[in-house]
A and B are shown apart, each in its own frame.
Chain A
Amino acid sequence: MATTEQSTTFEAPGRSGSPVEVNERYDNFIGGHWVAPIDGEYRDNLSPATGQPICEVAHSGAQDIELALDAAHAAKDAWGETSTTERSKVLNAVADAIEENLEMLAVAESWENGKPVRETLAADIPLAADHFRYFADVIRGEEGRISEIDKDTVAYHFNEPLGVVGQIIPFNFPLLMAAWKIAPALAAGNCTVVKPASSTPWSILKLAEVIEDIVPEGVLNIVNGPGAETGKALASNKRIAKIAFTGETVTGRLIMQYAAQNLIPSTTELGGKSPNIFFDDVMSADDEFLDKAVEGLVLYAFNKGEVCTCPSRALIQESIYDEFMERCLGRIHAIKQGNPLDRTVALGAQNSASQLEKIEGYVQIGRDEGAQLLTGGQRNMLPGELAGGYYYEPTVFKGTNDMRIFQEEIFGPVLAVTTFKDEAEALRIANDTLYGLGAGVWSRDGSRAFRMGRAIKAGRVWTNCYHLYPAHAAFGGYKVSGVGRENHKMMLDHYSQTKCLLVSYDKKAMGFF
């Protein structure tokens, strides 16, 4: 048994036999070089799997952001004038490098974030590579446009880069969220300064190591540090032409405030409390689709529930509740939780001690407000070196949509389940939330699924599926879940500005003066 476990589990970064090498400390990536933080401060980067340090990473301040902006501004004219053909080649080469280093990046990201390597190998890293390919492809097909105003007057519309942009990345998908930001920005001819989340500052640096010779110096810059100092210095800086942010809603408001003060555009991808709606007809046959629907509910545990689109509210039609829930609970009880580097593990560790405490707090709130605990509800204490890790059991509560656990974003493997009588009630409950990021609709009746999907106030309605994030499918929020759409070439509009050359071929004066 021990031999089997060893062969399914990667060695942790830095250990003998691991696909990942680890330096003692990491600097910022600025102007194509590794640059120490000006104040010389570093912080331990902990692995949530064990609670132990992986390495030290730069703890930067406002001055380091200025250095990165210097490098980006020095590079922006040349990169902005680079042909889309050449930019496309660079993005494809980045995708190649990601694919060539799939295991290394997957293991690094799993160990830093706590997510299962099964997910990083199958989803996070391949999707990140594909994102660069997608934007490498679509930028070649982009065009300006020409309007013939009259026989002597032509309006030429060009898409031009914004210049230098700032991008702030969350901890939940450190590499994929970086790809979602960096790929369109670079495709559109911009240079970027990226600030990763302070709890996941390192796996993106492993990516930088494999692409540092591919991306021209100064086009991509990465500065690590605390949000209050480094994030603020970037988002409120007069030298960026745009800020992009993925994170929490009130912080998103702060980011938009900084942008407003500098009159720059912002795009934000914020929180969610996504409803996952199961109609009675999913149980009309005991077939592979029913099996898929059961998995669809259990997907609340994907990425340990640390997803802005976590399907954290399950709405089940009353007539099928008992039987459907029984199947789902069976599937939930079968979830294997453990070392994120074990390929057979489906549920890893929460991102930090503070996230874990917050989940415990919400589970207590759920109990106090009278929700019924169906499973879980406690930390999972694992043996050996995992004992210091931040593991929480997959948890399910049954209650009503007015409860706090149905209204607040818990960001953990905690599902709130309720029932509904009919379509109208399902819709009312689904939309009774501050948020509007994601939703799931499960029904064999296509018309019903279509009606529901069009009526739910969310930017992404998964229909008979969930947690798919292919490029070319627009993603973003309604209501307070954010502004802008990622994962689609429409993102290029957010990273460009239109130049209209209005040209007169008429030699005669107008006759005004």
Chain B
Amino acid sequence: MAQESVTATDAAVRAIERLSVEHGPLAFFQSGGCCDGSLPICLKDGELPPGPGDTLLGVIAGAPFYVDSEQYRRWGRPSFLLDVRPGPAEGFSLSPPEEHFVTRPAE
């Protein structure tokens, strides 16, 4: 397990806490790009069961953050910073109203 490979802004933590009240335990999967904009996908925990091909990068406000191991290796094992940005989510991710989660390279 790669610890400390994902951290989050306060805004993202608050968003996760609010969404957890509404939806129960959550989990994140880092998307691969394409039309989902390389965004993290927030789901109810268990909706997409992680498998042996996934890496757990860390846990944010109780929500585990996964990435496909091969994808992570090819991306150079970056550290991610989880944040929220204005504008509705475009894919299948749960999101706060009129906001969406993003991942950025951590400083």
Of all chain B residues, the one with the shortest Cβ separation from A254 is: B48
A127 → chain B closest CB, angstroms: 19
Q: Is the CB of A250 within 8 A of B87?
A: no
Q: Which of B33, B43, B89 contacts A410 (CB 8 A)?
A: B33
Q: Which of A247, A308, A434 contacts B91 (CB 8 A)?
A: A247
Q: Which chain B positions have C-beta within 8 A of A27?
A: none
Q: Which chain B positions have C-beta within 8 A of A369?
A: 76
Q: Which of A198, A271, A354, A404 contacts B34 (CB 8 A)?
A: A271
Q: Which of B35, B48, B89 contacts A306 (CB 8 A)?
A: B35
A458 → chain B closest CB, angstroms: 15
Pick the interface stretch among B4-12, B57-65, B66-74.
B66-74
Residue B37 at the A interface, CB < 8 A? Answer: yes
Known A-B contacts A232-B92, A250-B30, A365-B105; the reply to A172 vs B87 at CB < 8 A is no
Mask for A410-450, Cβ within 8 A of B = 1, else 0? 11000000000000000000000110000000000000000
Residue A251 at the B interface, CB < 8 A? Answer: yes
Q: Is the CB of A247 within 8 A of B35?
A: yes
Q: Which of B32, B85, B90, B104 contacts A249 (CB 8 A)?
A: B32
Docked pose: A352 CA to B85 CA in angstroms: 13
Docked pose: A394 CA to B68 CA in angstroms: 30
Q: Is the CB of A198 within 8 A of B90?
A: yes
Residue A102 at the B interface, CB < 8 A? Answer: no
Mask for A217-261, Cβ within 8 A of B = 1, else 0? 000000000111001100000000000000111110110010000
Docked pose: A433 CA to B33 CA in angstroms: 13
Q: In which size bucket is the chain B interface?
A: 35 or more
Docked pose: A334 CA to B76 CA in angstroms: 35
Q: Which of A199, A308, A357, A362 contacts B90 (CB 8 A)?
A: A199
Mask for B29-55, Cβ within 8 A of A = 1, else 0? 111111111110101000111000000
Q: Which chain B positions have C-beta within 8 A of A50?
A: none
Residue A265 at the B interface, CB < 8 A? Answer: no
Residue A171 at the B interface, CB < 8 A? Answer: yes
Docked pose: A80 CA to B93 CA in angstroms: 35
Docked pose: A411 CA to B91 CA in angstroms: 15
B28 → chain A closest CB, angstroms: 11
Mask for B76-107, Cβ within 8 A of A = 1, else 0? 10100000011111111111000010101100
Residue A395 at the B interface, CB < 8 A? Answer: no
Of all chain B residues, the one with the shortest Cβ separation from A199 is: B90
Docked pose: A228 CA to B90 CA in angstroms: 9
Known A-B contacts A247-B34, A254-B41; the reply to A227 vs B91 at CB < 8 A is yes
Of all chain B residues, the one with the shortest Cβ separation from A433 is: B74
Q: Is the CB of B89 within 8 A of A253?
A: no
Q: Which chain B positions have C-beta within 8 A of A411?
A: 33-35, 37
Q: Which of B31, B32, B74, B90 contacts A354 (CB 8 A)?
A: B90
Docked pose: A127 CA to B93 CA in angstroms: 31
Q: Is the CB of B94 within 8 A of A270?
A: no
Q: Is the CB of A408 within 8 A of B38?
A: yes
Q: Is the CB of B37 within 8 A of A251?
A: no
Q: Which chain B positions have C-beta within 8 A of A408?
A: 32-33, 38, 74-75
Q: Is the CB of A231 within 8 A of B92?
A: yes
Q: Which chain A positions have C-beta within 8 A of B92?
A: 227-228, 231-232, 251, 254
Docked pose: A253 CA to B91 CA in angstroms: 13
Q: Is the CB of B36 within 8 A of A250?
A: yes
Q: Which residues of B contact A (CB under 8 A)?
A: 29-39, 41, 43, 47-49, 68, 70-71, 74-76, 78, 85-95, 100, 102, 104-105
Q: With contacts A257-B49, A354-B37 known, what are 18 further pairs, Cβ within 8 A?
A: A197-B90, A227-B90, A228-B93, A228-B94, A228-B95, A249-B31, A250-B31, A250-B32, A250-B41, A254-B48, A353-B87, A354-B90, A357-B102, A358-B37, A358-B39, A362-B38, A407-B75, A408-B74
Complex A-B, nearest 7 residue pairs according to Cβ-Cβ distance, in ascending order: A409-B33, A248-B36, A271-B34, A248-B34, A249-B32, A227-B92, A358-B37
Q: Which residues of A contact B (CB under 8 A)?
A: 43, 170-172, 197-199, 226-228, 231-232, 247-251, 253-254, 257, 270-272, 306, 308, 352-355, 357-358, 361-362, 365, 368-369, 402, 404, 407-411, 433-434, 480
A and B contact pairs by CB, cutoff 8 A, 25 listed: A171-B35, A198-B88, A226-B88, A227-B91, A227-B93, A228-B89, A228-B91, A232-B92, A249-B32, A249-B33, A249-B34, A251-B91, A254-B29, A254-B48, A353-B87, A354-B37, A357-B85, A358-B39, A368-B105, A369-B76, A404-B75, A404-B78, A411-B35, A434-B32, A434-B74
